[in-house]
Amino acid sequence: MSVETQKETLGFQTEVKQLLHLMIHSLYSNKEIFLRELISNASDAVDKLRFEALSKPDLLEGGAELKIRVSFDKDAKTVTLEDNGIGMSREDAITHLGTIAKSGTADFMKNLSGDQKKDSHLIGQFGVGFYSAFIVADKVEVFSRRAGVPASEGVHWASKGEGEFEIATLEKADRGTRIVLHLKSAEGEFADGYRLRNIIKKYSDHIALPIQLPKEQAAVEGEAAPEQEWETVNRASALWTRPRTEVTDEEYQEFYKHVAHDFENPLSWSHNKVEGKLEYSSLLYVPGRAPFDLYQREAPRGLKLYVQRVFVMDQAESFLPLYMRFIKGVVDSNDLSLNVSREILQKDPIIDSMKSALTKRVLDMLEKLAKNEPEQYKGFWKNFGQVMKEGPAEDFANKEKIAGLLRFASTHEDGGEQVVALAEYLARAKEGQDKIYYLTGETYAQVKNSPHLEVFRKKGIEVLLLTDRIDEWLMSYLSDFDGKGFVDVARGDLDLGKLDSEEDKKAQEEVAKDKEGLIERLKVALGDAVSEVRVSHRLTDSPAILAIGEQDLGLQMRQILEASGQKVPDSKPIFEFNPAHPLIAKLDTEQSEERFGDLSHILFDQAALAAGDSLKDPAAYVRRLNKLLVELSV
Ligand code: ADP
């Protein structure tokens, strides 16, 4: 072995230390996955070399047979993985094997509770990768050299996984990476050909390049040991090129873990081959859970792009819209050029037509999941529903399809879970109901008890309850579903159409006429605070309510805009009162204008509170209310 130079000891980034700790303590029940993770990395490294060698054939250094070799030493208790991929420079090794590059990791780690069970759940959002070596090894050594650099620029990295690693420069004749795992004393079982072969078959059969193990050779006494022969133990063909019928679920699942760097199974997948004007294969996956950086703008997203089986780039984001950023998988095109760049992808019309086809595939896959496995779909919606709600705004062409995939909380489901599909809503709608009613608000508790729902409750009409921040914005992009318009029940002059009988309507008109005097008095008392005063058809129990003008911004939108520092156009609510309520009856007969004014303002403020709004002048409200309480008690 050559002499090591420039030896130094460096500390792991804090996040790496935390991840290592978490991993060692939480993955003990599934130790063998370390091999899958290391093989997955080796395969990525070979993919990268193959791609770079297209323009720089010298990188192959004469050794074009790309492969991964796994060997072991029972006595020394070591397992060694060797690839002839792109390799790492000294700087690569320091950054890639000492830090976690994902932005937001530190924040994420802060959320760890210290409760091993809970936290182990979180680590799945990362993928475990290289560090999984420490599940079985108490010392890991990496020998690597970047393709294309002189043999003298090899690197030796070594660590016990306890907070620091050593790094040195040394000579390495072959390009690529060799990883030596010094197994923990209790993990000697992995230094075994039979065991390793089984693990490779189980998890890594789909890897497109040969994975080889040493061939068992009987030593002949008196003769020198023959040269080691190797045999390939995996199928070594790109999984997505195989016919669907010949790929098992387990193979699809393992392939997902490789491309997505996830260690849990996907929820669903869709594998397709397109022939004709454009030729490409795609294999798209819906993950089982959301990554921690789903809402970070700069988080990586997109598919792995291959051109005629050759890996070209990771995170090719031009093939799917932003609201499908959680989808993982590969696309392999026969039409693109091997030296395609991200910039070209963004402009290429071929990509546009692939994008719309792939988008449809995802929507179809989700429709199927919703139909065939509603319980699974519930899980999907919990993880990714908020992202899907970005869909109608971004993807106008598929608005109706996306709307069909949306799920809502509703007055007809307990607990506020988002489980009601629009089709289901319409299927159980009242006779004569030609609208889809909804109410938006801050929290489920608030909307559930909103006075706006009183008449709907009385008539048994279902109302969708929308409390996600994005909901009002979403609804501004949805005008109808299946020919039925959406109606915000807190907005405008509620017209229940055929749901109100002729008698109802007549009665309403008569009451309105009868209360004209009261309406005028209220207008004077409330003055500038309201845009209109009228008799309500929405109320059965509450005395009054505030409705939003047909064209005005809703409360949620207003609050979002205000929070982002934007100027929001002033809009005044409509004050609606319930003529059948005893307080209103009392108001109507109130002789003192002062008392009438106080009571009107109290009713107005209460209606604002019930709608989840804040009061413009809370002190005035308290003063008026107390004045009334004092009068009551004397
Ligand atoms: P991930 O694979 O999710 O990026 P890992 O912790 O598994 O995370 O690996 C970190 C990085 O180390 C890889 O992205 C890659 O740059 C580098 N790396 C790991 N294994 C190899 C290898 N066999 N050859 C070259 N680079 C590697």
* Most confident region among 11-20, 125-134, 456-465 by mean pLDDT: 456-465
Q: What is the pLDDT of residue 388?
A: 97
Of 37, 130, 209, best ligand 1 pocket probe by most atoms within 8 Å of the beta carbon:
130
Tell which atom from ligand 1 comes closest to the C-alpha of 85: 24
Are 158 and 84 members of one domain?
yes
The rounded mean pLDDT for the chain is: 91
Residue with the nearest Cα to atom 10 of ligand 1?
96
pLDDT digits (tens, 9 = 90+) for 292-344: 888 887 888 999 999 998 899 999 999 999 999 999 999 999 999 888 888 88
Q: Exposure string (b/e) for 392-416, b if CB count within 10 Å is 16 or more?
A: bbebeebbebbbbbbbbbbbebeee
Mean pLDDT across 10-27: 84
Looking at 472, 495, 518, the residue that finishes a domain is: 495
Measured in Å, how far apart are the chain's first and last C-alpha atoms? Answer: 101
Q: How far is CA 593 from CA 408, 589, 631, in A?
A: 46, 11, 16
Tens digits of per-residue pLDDT, 359-406? 999 999 999 999 999 999 999 999 999 999 999 999 999 999 999 999
Is 414 found in the same domain as 323?
A: no
According to the model, what pLDDT value does residue 570 have?
A: 79
Query: Which atom number of ligand 1 is nearest to the Cα of residue 100?
Result: 6
Last residue of a domain, one of 495, 525, 553: 495
Q: Which atom of ligand 1 is nearest to the CA of 40?
A: 2
Give the burial string for 182-213 (b: 16+ CB within 10 Å, else e): bbbeebeebbebeebbebbeebbbbbbbbbbb
Question: Which ligand 1 atom is at minimum distance from the Cα of 126?
Answer: 3
- In this structure, are residues 409 and 464 in contact, taking their beta carbons and an 8 Å threshold? yes
The residue among 11 and 553 whose pLDDT is bigger is 11
pLDDT at 634 over 70: no
Domain that holds residue 254: 240-380
Residue 441 and residue 515 in one domain: no
Confirm if 98 and 13 have CB atoms less than 8 A apart. Answer: yes
Residues whose CB is less than 8 angstroms from the CB of residue 190 and which lie 6 or more positions away in sequence, other chains included: 31, 32, 35, 72, 79, 136, 181, 183, 196
510 and 489 within one domain: no
Residue 229 lies in a domain: no
- State the distance from the centre of ligand 1 to the C-alpha of 8, rounded, in angstroms: 21
What residue owns the CA closest to ligand 1's atom 19?
A: 41
**Contacts (Cβ under 8 Å, ≥6 apart) of 6:** 90, 168, 169
The verdict on 315 and 423 lying in the same domain is no
Question: Which residue among 44, 80, 123, 157 has the greatest number of ligand 1 atoms within 8 angstroms of its CB, and so is best to mutate?
Answer: 44
Shared-domain flag, residues 170 and 142: yes
Answer yes or no: do 461 and 595 share one domain.
Answer: no
Given pLDDT bands bounded at 50, 70 and 90, which one contains residue 104? confident
Residue 416 is predicted with a pLDDT of: 92
pLDDT value of position 126: 66
- Shared-domain flag, residues 361 and 276: yes
Q: Does 149 lie in the same domain as 9?
A: yes
Number of separate domains in the chain: 4
Q: DSSP alpha helices (H): ranges in 206-348?
A: 249-260, 342-347
Bridge-based pairing of strands 532-535 and 484-488 is unpaired
User: How close is the Cα of 130 to the center of ligand 1, in Å?
Assistant: 6
Q: Is the pLDDT of residue 583 over 60?
A: yes
Report yes or no on 391 lying in a domain: no
β-bridge partners, 251: none
* Residue 35, domain member (yes or no): yes
Here the CATH number for the domain that contains residue 415 is: 3.40.50.11260
Mean pLDDT of 508-527: 92
Neighbour-count burial of 371, counting CB atoms closer than 10 A to its CB (0-12 exposed, 13-18 middle, 19+ buried)? exposed
Pocket around ligand 1: residues whose beta carbon is below 6 Å from it?
A: 41-42, 45, 83, 85-88, 96-97, 127, 129-131, 177, 261
Q: What is the pTM of this model?
A: 0.84
**What is the CATH classification number for the domain harbouring 284?**
3.30.230.80
CB-based burial of residue 218 (10 Å sphere; 0-12 exposed, 13-18 middle, 19+ buried)?
Answer: exposed
Task: Supply 297's token pair.
Answer: 């703008």
Give the length of the chain.
Answer: 634
387: in domain = no
Between the CA of 163 and the centroid of ligand 1 the distance, in Å, is: 19
Average pLDDT over residues 191-198: 96
Cα of 95 vs centre of ligand 1, distance in Å, is 10
Kindly state the DSSP code that residue 494 receives in the 8-state scheme: -
Q: Which atom of ligand 1 is nearest to the CA of 83?
A: 23
H or E stretch at 219:
none
Whichever domain contains 129, its CATH number is 3.30.565.10
pLDDT reported for residue 293: 84
Statement to judge: residues 442 and 544 lie in one domain: no
Q: Which value, to the nearest 10 degrees, does the dihedral of the CA atoms of residues 363, 366, 370, 374 take?
A: -160
Residue 442 is predicted with a pLDDT of 87
Pick the closest to residue 69 from 228, 254, 259, 250 (CA basis): 228
Ligand 1 centroid from CA 45, angstroms:
8
Please tell me the residue having the least CA distance from ligand 1 atom 25.
87
Co-location of 208 and 266 in the same domain: no
Q: What's the CA gap between 406 and 389, in Å, rounded?
A: 7
In a domain, 392, yes or no: no
pLDDT score for 120: 64
Flag whether 233 is in a domain. Answer: no
The one-letter code for the residue type at 453 is L
Query: DSSP letter at 114?
Result: S
| Domain assignment present for 230 | no
End position of a domain, from candidates 462, 495, 528: 495
Mean pLDDT of 520-536: 93
Give the pLDDT of residue 448.
93
Whether residues 340 and 296 fall in one domain: yes
Q: What is the CATH number of the domain that holds 575?
A: 1.20.120.790
Percent pLDDT > 90 in the chain is 69
What average pLDDT score do residues 204-221 get? 89
Which atom of ligand 1 lies at the shortest distance from residue 179's CA? 23
DSSP label of 162: S
Residue 1 confidence (pLDDT) above 70: no
* Residue at 92: amino acid letter: D
User: In terms of pLDDT, which residue wins out, 31 or 126?
Assistant: 31
In order of 22, 57, 282, 312, 434, the CA distances from 308 in angstroms are 40, 18, 12, 10, 52
- Which residue has better confidence, 412 or 511? 412
Looking at the chain, the whole-number percentage of residues with pLDDT higher than 70 is 97
Q: How confident is the model at residue 261 (pLDDT cuts 50, 70, 90)?
A: confident
410 occurs within a structural domain: yes
| Per-residue model confidence as pLDDT tens digits over 428-483 | 999 999 999 999 998 999 899 999 999 999 999 999 999 998 999 999 999 999 99
The pLDDT value recorded for residue 10 is: 95
